[in-house]
Structure 1
């Protein structure tokens, strides 16, 4: 055996082929070697075999070490170590080889710590170190093995009791160029040992914190050429392990550790700069490696559903048909015969738009009031009493509520409208910018139109109805009407205005004119914004804090600024500077003011009277700011509220600041954020609204702030708030702002605010300004929320061309498109996209009329009104994420989801499934606009399950709408889309509507909070103009989808083809290709990123104008090797 093993040793030392064959699959070489090692007693044979194994595992990465572990090598080596330790004295060469081999295979054996403890190997290695402190050749592999053992917490405590901590401090010491390898291994071993709280306390009790600091300073002072950075890093790792316990932190501070480390960090800039210069090439390779890892992760993602039977849509109502009939009242368009309507046309004729109605009206008028008959034209129809089932259902349900009357809304005469139009020249430049984003889109508003509308359809008067909570078995004894106000008997006031920075001459001149004129000048720039109407809407909004103030931005309104806002480039070193300033608070505590200047929890907190102290407020709709602490003269720490009935979700902020001075940089730190990364690190800026600018006819939210960064701070989260995990820290958003006006009133927000009252105002304006002869518009109350706010349901389609049977039949048989938004209150961009969609659908654009004639739109523009009103980020008043409740919504806790799903279930029951369902969302960690859909094939393709996906037949139509949008919408990115169904998303609207309701084109459309990195808007932060444009482009995409779905049945008028083609061609010119899979926008985050799987889209479908056949190749299908699918395109 000695001769054979020596020959094998020679072969493995000289030939890689031999080493590879020994560990190849199916080879028994390792098994024979280990069996010989276990049974032989010859010392030389044992040494030969150990050298063979070391040679085998030294090359080839961890795979060969794993082979050795799976063959039982760890147990054999530990037994051999135990036997060898009984020799007196032990064989040094044998001990060195054994520990070297154990150190190499140990990291691949997850149970080596337990095996070593059971075999009694812990003390063997420890005693070898104690007895051979001067024998560096022997103790080096022993320390490496102790480091592996110490990853097991039980082993670390056991070793600590036997004096291993004290032993390590005998090995490490001051700066020395000798035995640096031993020093590095000893520090790594000590850091692993100190992760045990018992060992950390032992180190603190023996005064080793001061020793570690002294060692660090000594190495830092002598290592002037920075050749021993790993040793210095090892010392810091030991200090970090000790300070994980409260006793260690106290010892660290008592030893002046904060100042020591701070001072040394200030002279490390040259090291960082040098490493940055040298790591450029490495960064590129690291990115490639990360991308490879991401691709591999697609096949290892345990969150992706792998059961085909669970993936297959299973259309099921989930509720009895008799119960679903309660939703019949929300679909009067399916039964209305329009016989009593005075329709425009009595004979079938193509739609010819009036050229005089196509121009955009920028200056808004007060809502045109129609005749009493016209007001009631789109009222809901009462349920037929002849239906006994419905009558019985109504008898056991709570009473229905009636919508508020419009009597409280001030009428405006035509003369006043003309006066307002005279203001157009003063804001012509602003008006051009307003209509630039949505060209050809306008609302009809003229004297001629008023007369034109007055001849519209008149329907029998009915009452609008709403669903109260259906789970109640008894009628509510007292239900206040929808129109009743929480503020009845009380006043709603604007926040305190302190624009004292205006010159006295300007104030005098302004005082000579009425305040209404100022407001009119501001509000005239938005056709759907009405300051007075907004106040009326606020009075009917019910909030938990019972807000009585109105924020100026919501009152004045917002128009997009006339300039571009590029993604901010962060200067080098900003984050280190900010963190250093935070550390200085602890070092120079006497320089910190530490005064509370705003506190929602302490209503008696006095407002500072000093002129140089900022004043804060968040007591208005959607506001979120809990506490403000003044740190330095011009620096403030801000603390946000969590979502109501929750102890986390700190992200959305919206607050007022006043009392500022010009020329001073004010630093704001929001210190209780939770996400581990943010787009604030990659160019996103917070938003600010200046009241002074609004009074100067510039009412807009603008991106502001310099020195913006997002980083982990030293504030610890409670285990309850961190989901049971201890030791998690909060994160800080910090930004600096220099104000333009003295004593201005400014508002800051995470994203463009869009309140519930704003939605109600916009819907009211759209209803009052629409043409009832062309547009069928109906607004219902779907249900009431937990706080008693109504959840609006909007129906939009085109009026039938006449009351002939053929036209009524075509009207009733239009396919449905179901849209929803704002289930997450903090994703305000979803509401702006929805605003763009609603305004497009209600416009006199010829293609919009064609779209209305193609579909019936059912829209729930705000699924979570309570969360929006109370400044939540993600949850409703129940403290739950409503988008995770679609599988089993509770009618008491989640009424909006329960009834939204009920509407869809009703459509499924009457065989009228929507062609498209889309839920509008916002995304805080990615750029661009993109979609998530559902596909069985693509889900299976992203798993490592050997499923016969090639035999799976799936209609690829789910990709059509995203592909269309990638060509029509500049902000849309096909490469960021994903159609993978993940287990964690099974209770979301997108997946439930696809799986249970059976809607193939069920999407979530995500809009970035930051900006775009491709296409026309590349390098720009996104604004409301781009968001509203996206909502309009979505509608254009639906029109294209209609042509694709039924090219032979649907023909656009030739006049519309040119308009649509021009729109698409102009968009395609500025949109970069989106047919490839984009890399992650930023470096991978520590936290899980939603919908991590990427689309495997290889080629875009060519959207030709002329009808033709398109055959998807196997590559384009991306999923099947055998079946190709034909899609008929127009």
Structure 2
């Protein structure tokens, strides 16, 4: 406190230099507590007063100015109100004047630019500096391209980035053509910095572009100046070097932000189905508001004057705006609350053995069972970029049989399937009342008029009953000429009840606690809003849990970035985009199923929510999910059928209207897939599948 008082009251040059030297030594050591203490005692105001006094001397005494400017830059970084103090002391013009007078002396200019950057971190002060010509001064320093005086150029780029946090300064920069100049300057540095020695300068220029593109005028000018092509090309050159990740990350953020917003290719954002709620005079009509309007409504509008908010000298650059790139798993964990007492869960023990089962018993299974499981579940060698199809080939991390399905004998398949089931049923003591089971079957038979009674002697599963006559079985919507045939994809629609009856007789007792006939009988009693006539094969046939555990999928480095760049390539190279609609729930006539090199989709069954499928490239599809009935929300899940996949070919599915802050797909969660062919061969399982899975905006 005494030193600050002497500094304010002294006029002797030697005393001032000694005080500056002492303050420099004190503030150069230790933590920021010393700087905050000096700030609390009025150190910032004292240094600004000394700067004003030193700037009035003729000629300028740089022996005093340089240490004074260094102290101002160091203290100003920790003083959250430094910008306001500069304005109150009327020091903005003084700092700009000192910078202009030292344009020919780069050492002195660098010190002035350090202070200018600290002042500009306050939006209000930065706006004042922009009005007074600070950006013109900085552009003179950084242009044209030159490797001389790198320290000064770096300080000028940092000050310019701080000034462009103000939206009024960004608009001023666009109107004066500075955005195109920044793009050309970035290209020069990118092409000539072959040894990657000036990454900080290249990233600083990208940060300037990032701030300018925060406004709509900046994004439009960026697109008109071919900014997307320039940054996309430069990013491709940087992907092979991990040291250039800061450049790639910043450039990708700009590309994502400037990608033109387009409406969803649907007639309405509301559900395709509506239902008159009880008590309402009429059903709520679907809202014909296009998705584009919704996007624009949530997007910032720069036509109206926006209120400039003080950022309080925070380092906004260190805070990523991409919430979907969150890496802290703890931020995604929720603590759900039970919606019913735990005592009521006892009635579900038969269907959900995990509620009461001691899973430690599974670790003490016999060596014979382990050897059998090892023989039946072996990892096959597969390519690294491989997505499983509906055959026996699975994801590399998914354990499956070595030999192909066609090489297996039916007897072997049945045995492989039944042994784990028998072991499981012996260990489990499931509570299932045969009397209640019999009454349920009788009720179902009375409703449907087609089911036989259940044998009460079997307590672990329901007897497979004959199919009801006239049941609407999976009509051949896409391939009507192939009657009485069974394809090998999930959700396959069966036409002949005789074939299904034969299948059920062949696989009697395979699925515990599930009867396909009983399920059909109850499904016929359901009043479906869309009046569904088909049943999804996994729901009808049932499933078994896989006899092995699978770890979470390891997060692969750079997956999101690569997918974003693939999406941006659509804009850069539109000729590669097919754009063929292969499935449309709203307009079936617009669909083109069965096209060559095209997958077939279907979701017109209970819980199916695929609304539209568009083929983007040969092996890439955009999928749009349907909202809940009478709603325009809830696209957080998906259930659909896909068929006609080629073996050992990776397919990419983009679910483009599943928007939220983040997703567990970024942390190892995988989708689950059900293969009809596997189910008919004795392995009816939902298996985790897929790779390179991620969520991003």
Normalising by structure 2, we get a TM-score of 0.63
Are the structure 2 counterparts of residues 605 and 513 from structure 1 closer, same or farther at C-alpha, using a change threshold of 3 Å?
Answer: closer
Partner of 2:147: 177
Structure 1 counterpart of 2:693, from 703, 709, 719: 709
Structure with greater proportional strand content: 1
Q: CA deviation at 1:43?
A: 2.8
For residues 435 and 621 of structure 2, the distance between their equivalents in structure 1, rounded to whole angstroms, comes to: 57
Partner of 2:5: 35
For residues 697 and 89 of structure 1, the distance between their equivalents in structure 2, rounded to whole angstroms, comes to: 94
Structure 2 counterpart of 1:227, from 181, 184, 197: 197
| Residues 612 and 660 in structure 1, CA contact (< 8 A), matched pair in contact too | no
Structure 2 counterpart of 1:433, from 413, 417, 420: 420
Partner of 1:61: 31
Partner of 1:739: none
| Residues 598 and 627 in structure 1, CA contact (< 8 A), matched pair in contact too | yes
For residues 627 and 486 of structure 2, the distance between their equivalents in structure 1, rounded to whole angstroms, comes to: 42
Give the match's secondary structure for 1:267.
helix
| Residues 69 and 109 in structure 1, CA contact (< 8 A), matched pair in contact too | yes
Question: For residues 139-178 of structure 1, what are the structure 2 equivalents within 5 Å?
Answer: 139-178=109-148
Structure 2 counterpart of 1:92, from 56, 62, 72: 62
| Mapped pair 1:589 → 2:578 | no
| Residues 418 and 510 in structure 2, CA contact (< 8 A), matched pair in contact too | yes
Give the match's secondary structure for 2:653.
strand
Partner of 2:172: 202
Structure 1 residues 773-812: Cα deviation after superposition (integer angstroms, max 9, x where no partner): xxxxxxxxxxxxxxxxxxxxxxxxxxxxxxxxxxxxxxxx
Are the structure 2 counterparts of residues 149 and 585 from structure 1 closer, same or farther at C-alpha, using a change threshold of 3 Å?
Answer: same
Question: For residues 390-789 of structure 1, what are the structure 2 equivalents within 5 Å?
Answer: 427-434=414-421, 440-443=427-430, 494=474, 496=476, 514-521=499-506, 524-539=509-524, 541=526, 547-562=532-547, 565-569=550-554, 574-600=559-585, 605-608=590-593, 610-641=595-626, 650-675=635-660, 677-706=662-691, 708-712=692-696, 730=697
| Residues 473 and 497 in structure 2, CA contact (< 8 A), matched pair in contact too | no
Gaps of 5+ in 2: 247-330, 332-340, 348-409, 439-469, 488-494
| Residues 523 and 556 in structure 1, CA contact (< 8 A), matched pair in contact too | no
Give the match's secondary structure for 1:709.
coil
Partner of 2:387: none
Question: For residues 1070-1089 of structure 1, what are the structure 2 equivalents within 5 Å?
Answer: none
Are the structure 2 counterparts of residues 157 and 444 from structure 1 closer, same or farther at C-alpha, using a change threshold of 3 Å?
Answer: closer
Q: CA RMSD in A?
A: 4.1
Partner of 2:206: 236
Q: CA deviation at 1:165?
A: 1.7
Structure 2 counterpart of 1:113, from 72, 80, 83: 83
Q: CA deviation at 1:512?
A: 11
Partner of 2:51: 81
Partner of 2:235: 265
Are the structure 2 counterparts of residues 603 and 501 from structure 1 closer, same or farther at C-alpha, using a change threshold of 3 Å?
Answer: closer
Normalising by structure 1, we get a TM-score of 0.40
For residues 183 and 90 of structure 1, the distance between their equivalents in structure 2, rounded to whole angstroms, comes to: 23
| Mapped pair 1:127 → 2:111 | no
For residues 422 and 10 of structure 2, the distance between their equivalents in structure 1, rounded to whole angstroms, comes to: 89
| Mapped pair 1:137 → 2:107 | yes
Give the match's secondary structure for 1:629.
strand
Structure 1 residues 644-691: Cα deviation after superposition (integer angstroms, max 9, x where no partner): 787766432222223444454321122344455544345433211122
Question: For residues 786-805 of structure 1, what are the structure 2 equivalents within 5 Å?
Answer: none
For residues 159 and 440 of structure 1, the distance between their equivalents in structure 2, rounded to whole angstroms, comes to: 77
Q: CA deviation at 1:513?
A: 5.3
For residues 147 and 6 of structure 2, the distance between their equivalents in structure 1, rounded to whole angstroms, comes to: 42
| Residues 634 and 665 in structure 1, CA contact (< 8 A), matched pair in contact too | yes
For residues 191 and 243 of structure 1, the distance between their equivalents in structure 2, rounded to whole angstroms, comes to: 12
For residues 83 and 425 of structure 2, the distance between their equivalents in structure 1, rounded to whole angstroms, comes to: 66
Partner of 2:492: none
Give the match's secondary structure for 2:427.
coil
Q: CA deviation at 1:197?
A: 2.1
For residues 181 and 231 of structure 1, the distance between their equivalents in structure 2, rounded to whole angstroms, comes to: 10
For residues 663 and 532 of structure 2, the distance between their equivalents in structure 1, rounded to whole angstroms, comes to: 31
Gaps of 5+ in 1: 1-30, 277-300, 302-326, 334-422, 455-489, 713-729, 731-1130
Q: CA deviation at 1:172?
A: 0.9
For residues 198 and 154 of structure 1, the distance between their equivalents in structure 2, rounded to whole angstroms, comes to: 10
For residues 193 and 502 of structure 2, the distance between their equivalents in structure 1, rounded to whole angstroms, comes to: 71
Are the structure 2 counterparts of residues 555 and 229 from structure 1 closer, same or farther at C-alpha, using a change threshold of 3 Å?
Answer: same
Q: CA deviation at 1:86?
A: 3.7
Structure 1 residues 526-585: Cα deviation after superposition (integer angstroms, max 9, x where no partner): 221112222343345566656554322111111123565454456665544433322221
Partner of 1:1023: none
Structure 1 residues 792-841: Cα deviation after superposition (integer angstroms, max 9, x where no partner): xxxxxxxxxxxxxxxxxxxxxxxxxxxxxxxxxxxxxxxxxxxxxxxxxx
Partner of 2:183: 213
Give the match's secondary structure for 1:266.
helix
Q: CA deviation at 1:514?
A: 3.6
